[in-house]
Chain A
């Protein structure tokens, strides 16, 4: 885990003091809402449907036990006893009082946390692979590079007022667990034929109203130049990205309108120019010594060697959980554990203060004091001894945190939707709850295997519906909630965008439509095919026929 140095802590503490003064002036009336709004947003404080909402940054999704515990304590002390883990690996609180917001930021600062880069047209908090540093399939731990990006991008003076928000994801394996190609910049750390590490840059992806998969613009940037390359990508965007139309302001529109080749040419020209400044005061690349300093914080914990991989799976419920909620670890005798925040019929991503504190303790005691937030709104304990799994599972069962459904239909991504969000057009959570309940009670959830279902309550697509094997988008149809269904999306290495099936449905109708789509899959599945594979093989037509089939008329 990275530990703040003097500069990091001073920046965060100074920001808290500034915001305390700004909030005081707003409440006293010397700052208007118009002037205050951008200041509170720069500190993650939104005004939402029922109250202020505070979004707290979790850089590259990594937390210590003490940080996680603080998130639970904040839920109790300042909110209504719960928090919501988001698809950006952050956490947000729904019931914040303006007058208490500076105190929350001060509490966060005591555990090296803040709400910077969680709003506004800046480079947002960087996301990463929740299995980083633990999975056997990565070429290197991407988090030190994520931390370098955090340091480069935080308060970067040139990129504080970009045309629109800007999201970066960094991974280091072929299996993409971070929806890397659906980001403004997706970075995949790779090894070249000579075995050297470098960064592949994918630029111009995103979801929202115009979803795009980022094209590869450079397959290998040496690691002692990768911040400079990112700077070049941002500079071209900052210069030419559209500021006249909010809906066309993301980098994906620029890359699309210029064409990937022309955008790349401009980036390469800027990059070449920046490289000429390397030995001058204009150099942007941090010295390798800084990278080495950061890397030291992410060294492997003291794993025990010679541990057995054997597990007693006599308890069927435990065995099921092990099969769905654990993943292989790079060290024998250890496992990566995904804790599902998706109980049957629950609110995806919500966790109570007690649950958060329990996970904090489990992370501290059983996972070398490390936890991760996933973009699928779950929590990961990256380094758990297999011998500790049964005890861990028993504690999770008692806290309603042991649902065995990771990457299955019950593991739904859902944005807060119209229950909480002032931008939403329809509610997402009730739809997620109904689908989760339906597939738990008909017993089909398990049979379906991997099936990623994602729900957004508006076209901004915080619920990643474009990337769902099954995607649902809530829209406002003449004042009534209506839900569009799409099939065939994927956020992984086989990234694709879903296709809308046809006319939308009401809240009950969408649940029935999802059931029909899964029936088509089960009827047509060959071998080990996932829902997505079957859809790709047989196409939309059989699904559409089943979903929109007229009910037979009796008599």
Chain B
């Protein structure tokens, strides 16, 4: 599947297109097809996202898994500071990115 990501313009936070808006959680990401370019144009023009782009991801049983390690680290947070990641209570969360 393809999903859309970018950064929140004001805060810089990593965000994912959930079909009607933007979520901090990759698991909320919605599959997009030909409409992606239109969504990017509209959302960037409305300044709801900065630098949006399309990535490949897999709909795994445990949730959506971006195809590239860089995107998985973006989705989680720094693996060396899991306390600042989106899964601060899971000490093994870093294994997900590998």
Chain A residues whose CB sits within 8 angstroms of the CB of B44 once the complex forms:
33
Q: How many A-B residue pairs have CB under 8 A?
A: 72
Chain B residues whose CB sits within 8 angstroms of the CB of A97 once the complex forms:
10-12
Q: A27-B10, A481-B69 are in contact. Are A47 and B50 (CB under 8 A)?
A: yes
Docked Cα-Cα span, A262 to B68, in Å, equals 46
From 417 to 452 in chain A, residues with beta carbon under 8 angstroms from any chain B beta carbon are 418-420, 422, 424, 427, 429-430, 433
- How many residues of B sit at the interface, in one of the four size bands? 20 to 34
Docked Cα-Cα span, A420 to B73, in Å, equals 9
Docked Cα-Cα span, A29 to B46, in Å, equals 8
Please give the distance in Å from B81's CB to the nearest CB on chain A. Answer: 8
From 537 to 554 in chain A, residues with beta carbon under 8 angstroms from any chain B beta carbon are none
Please give the distance in Å from B9's CB to the nearest CB on chain A. Answer: 7
Asked if A49 is at the interface of the complex by the 8 Å CB criterion, the answer is yes
Please give the distance in Å from B3's CB to the nearest CB on chain A. Answer: 17
Query: A29 contacts B47, CB within 8 Å?
Result: yes
Chain B residues whose CB sits within 8 angstroms of the CB of A209 once the complex forms:
none
| Interchain CB contact (< 8 A) of A430 among B47, B77, B79 | B79
In the complex, residue of chain A having the shortest beta-carbon distance to the beta carbon of B77: A50
Asked if B80 is at the interface of the complex by the 8 Å CB criterion, the answer is yes
In the complex, residue of chain B having the shortest beta-carbon distance to the beta carbon of A48: B12
Specify the main secondary structure of chain A where it touches its partner: mixed
Query: A98 contacts B12, CB within 8 Å?
Result: yes
Docked Cα-Cα span, A422 to B12, in Å, equals 13
Asked if A220 is at the interface of the complex by the 8 Å CB criterion, the answer is no
Query: A47 contacts B80, CB within 8 Å?
Result: no
| Interchain CB contact (< 8 A) of A27 among B47, B73, B84 | B47
Query: A99 contacts B50, CB within 8 Å?
Result: no
Query: B9 contacts A49, CB within 8 Å?
Result: no
Docked Cα-Cα span, A5 to B11, in Å, equals 35
Query: A419 contacts B73, CB within 8 Å?
Result: yes
Asked if B74 is at the interface of the complex by the 8 Å CB criterion, the answer is yes
Binding site for B on A (CB under 8 A): 26-27, 29, 33, 47-52, 80, 94-99, 347, 418-420, 422, 424, 427, 429-430, 433, 476, 479-481
6 closest pairs, A vs B, by CB? A51-B12, A52-B12, A419-B78, A429-B80, A99-B10, A97-B11
